[in-house]
Structure 1
Amino acid sequence: MRVVFVLAGLGAGGAEKVVNLLAHHRLAAGDDVHVIALNATDSTSYFSYDPRIQVEGLSRIGKNSRHFVTMQRVKDLRRRFARIRPDMVVSFLTKINVITVLATAGTGTPTIISERNNFDVQQMSRFWRWSRPMAAFAATSVVVMTERARARQPARVRKKTIVIPNPVTPLPRAMPRPDAGRRVVAVGRLDRQKGFDILIASFAQVVERVPDAVLTIYGEGPERSALEKQISDLGLQEAVHLSGVTQVPGEWVSPGDVFALSSRFEGFANVVLEAMSSGMAVVSVDCPWGPSEIVQDGTTGLLVPMGSKEALATAITRVLTDTELRGSFCEAGPPSLDRFSTSTVLAKWDETISQAAGRPPLTVFADA
């Protein structure tokens, strides 16, 4: 089967990671695999690709209007599809899904679209908010990552919507210090969605209670300057560090005792999976969607209400200072994630792709 995966870029994000995993899995199964990144100018990727996988960027540098750029991308992508002649197209993220469905319209090519974020609350213009459900109606199948996301689909779309969470991939084991754990780690793009402003404000309270606590935030984004100012205004320069993007995927795990998620909303919160699998204790806000489908509150981590900086600070302080509790979360986390194993998730993807293509499912899975 000739499969084309379409995504926005080739950076360090969750969608890029899943596409990389799927592309190599389908290659191992004998497929002819192509990856097209609409916002990339070339094939340079944070995640390495086998040279047999055709990776390309379609971005054009220019100053045209947004609507012109969107329609140009539809035309460019349609031309690529005409050249590649795919048996299956799989796209990721709302805007890319819309462009992909428009590019495959009238071709008869089975198209699976995957929503990776919380489409109820993510900021979109009127055009994209209107186009998103239209793309879902037109697609062969729709993949979402949580049951709550599936429940939010229109009834007609819900019937062809499949829940496939992100897989948890092996990361280096965290190196906890059971008797003196004071290291808190957070990871994500430095934007409003991730709520690092909330986390930093909460951490000011943590430091009052645990003076030697340190918070390291990994990631880059448009909010860096605002977050740096917030850190300075709160006098947290010695306690809070913005450390950029790690050079090695998953490298952020090793310096942490506690992982904190402060997002205002998520599509799934894959970093929570990664942190738990590495043996870190997790404190997460119970944002829509994802954390409550991963963390068993009080057993594998702590969930705190959204909007309460005090509750987040109290939970982080509790896990930092309670050695027994922290140790129990570290032990209970990894075994609770079997349903997110790579083989289980890939099997669901293979079944979804096979059904959309009208072909028998694969019988061999690459469990990486």
Structure 2
Amino acid sequence: MRIAVLVPTMGGGGAERQIQLLTEHLPAFGHDVCVITMRSLGQGSVEHPLPTGTQRIRLDFTGRQLLSSPAKLRRFLRTWRADALLAFNGPAVLAARVTTVGTRLPLISCVGTSALPSGPRRLLMRISRRADAMTVFNASQSLEKYAAAGLSDPQRSQVIHNALADTVPATVRPRQAASPFRWIAVGRLTDAKGYDLLVESMSQLIQAGHLATLDIFGEGPGAQALERLIEDRQLGHAIHLRGFTFDWHSSLDDYDGFVLSSRWEGSPNAALEALACGMPMVASDVGDLAELLPEGRLAPPGDSAALAERMRALMGTDAALRTEEALAAQQATCARHDLTPVMQRWHEALQRLVEEKSRGTLR
């Protein structure tokens, strides 16, 4: 089966990480995977590497090329004889829906966020949703929100959780927390990740006399604003921006806790990988994290005071209890996001659509 994957870029985000895993592991089921990107990344940005031999097509869906790009994509898919098209992230989903109008090519739109689109984009998503042969969500919360808003068809939707790479490192060694307590956060520097809220939480902790530091790993358009905020709050001694690295897992033994401050998420990849390493965690109550973490480790999204309180509570928790909680979350995370069954679910979903197409029952 020939599977084309459309994505805005192959930058260092969670969706791109899942595409990387799909290109690595779907060929074991007999699938040929091609990745199509819609625009180039800025100079100095980091891309997720694709396996050697994976076909990569670069189309320009920007500026004057925007109107002609769907026709170019349609020609490529026809020439390549694609059996199905997967589209990841909002811009790619809309482009794929336009491209497949009037064709019999099965489209799977993949939604990786619980945030609902707004304005004209929301109207476009609602109107075009019938183009999907299937809509895949990486968290049940996202599926429920989109279905309730009329943005997806529950009968043609399913949840396929993000897969954890089989290269995630071994369990972090349990130990008594250091003083100061060392926090780590990982993710793109965007508004969705809520790092401004996290800076405020750190400010509240330090003003209350708690000893803590925070290292943030990531890159993105919000870097300069975040640097200014840290400077304005006079927190340069406690909060450090470490830039982007694929290998942040290797330094987890240097930290005492992982913190996720996102305003919204589908299935936060970095948090899942940290949980799979047995890392104690405090997080915004986003995606399906409530199924993996105790209630007392979750804060309402957007509430910096509540997040600071959850961080303070973890800092004051006995090391043995922290380790016990972390190991329980690790077991639940690894069971739900194990690579092999997740890839099997993708294969079954693709196989079902192609079979429906051959029988003439594909909607």
The normalised TM-score by structure 2 is: 0.87
Report the secondary structure of 2:162's partner residue: coil
Partners of 2:159 and 2:305 in 1: CA distance: 34
Q: Is the 8 A contact 1:37 1:57 kept in 2?
A: yes
Quick one: which amino acid aligns to residue 84 of structure 2? M
Structure 2: 5+ residue stretches without partners? 358-363
Check the 8 A contact 1:174/1:257 in 2, yes or no: no
Query: Unmatched 5+ residue regions in structure 1?
Result: 361-368
2:38 aligned residue: 38
Output the amino acid matched with 2:49: S
Cα distance in 1, alignment partners of residues 32 and 91 from structure 2: 25
Match of residue 305 from structure 1: 300
SS in 2 for 1:40: coil
Aligned mate of 1:106, from 94, 102, 107: 102
Alignment of 1:88-107 (within 5 A): 88-107=84-103
- For 1:41 and 1:197, the matched residues in 2 are separated by 24
CA deviation profile, 1:62-89 (whole Å, cap 9, x unmatched): 7x3xxx5432321221122122110111
Q: Secondary structure at the match of 2:51?
A: coil
Q: Does structure 1 residue 70 correspond to structure 2 residue 38?
A: no
For residue 201 of structure 2, give the secondary structure of its aligned residue in structure 1: helix
Q: Contact 2:125–2:151 (CA<8 Å) still a contact in 1?
A: no
Q: 1:321 aligns with which of 301, 304, 316?
A: 316
Alignment deviations for residues 78-128 of structure 1 (CA, whole Å, 9 cap, x no partner): 1221221101111111210111121122221111111112242x5x551x2
Look up the equivalent residue of 1:145 and give its one-letter code. Answer: N
**Kindly tell me: are residues 45 and 194 of structure 1, through their superposed partners in 2, closer, same or farther at Cα, counting changes over 3 Å?**
closer
The CA deviation string for residues 138-176 of structure 1, in whole angstroms up to 9 with x for no partner, is 111110122222223139711000111112234224355
**Does the aligned pair in 1 maintain the 2:97–2:132 contact within 8 Å?**
yes
1:294 is aligned with what amino acid?
L
Check whether the contact 1:70–1:99 (CA below 8 A) recurs between aligned residues: no
How far does residue 15 in structure 1 lie from its aligned partner after superposition?
A: 0.9
- RMSD over equivalenced CA pairs, Å: 2.5
* Structure 2 CA distance for partners of 1:178 and 1:171, relative to 1, 3 Å: farther
Indicate the SS of the match to 2:68: helix
CA distance in 1 between partners of 2:251 and 2:14 (Å): 15
Which residue does 1:365 correspond to in 2?
A: none
Shift of 1:41: 7.3
User: 2:67 is paired with a residue of what secondary structure?
Assistant: helix
Whether contact under 8 Å (1:185, 1:252) holds in the other structure is no
Which amino acid is 2:244 matched to? Answer: V
Point out the more displaced range, 237-246 or 174-183: 174-183
Is residue 141 of structure 2 the alignment partner of residue 143 of structure 1?
A: no
Which moves more between the two structures, 338-347 or 319-328? 319-328
Deviations 1:199-231 (A, max 9, x none): 011001222456541101111122222211211
Q: Could you tell me how far apart the structure 1 residues matched to 2:232 and 2:152 are?
A: 51
Q: Helix, strand or coil: the match of 1:332?
A: helix
Q: Which residue of structure 1 aligns with residue 289 of structure 2? A: 291
Alpha carbons of structure 1 residues 247 and 80: separation in structure 2 relative to 1, 3 Å: same
Report the Cα offset of residue 354 of structure 1: 1.0
User: How many percent identity over aligned positions?
Assistant: 29
Q: What is the distance in 2 between the residues matched to 1:306 and 1:30? A: 42
Change (3 A) 1:231 1:41: closer
Letter in 1 for 2:323: G
Change (3 A) 1:309 1:239: same
Distance in 1, Cα, partners of 2:209 & 2:315: 8
CA distance in 1, matches of 2:327, 2:21: 27
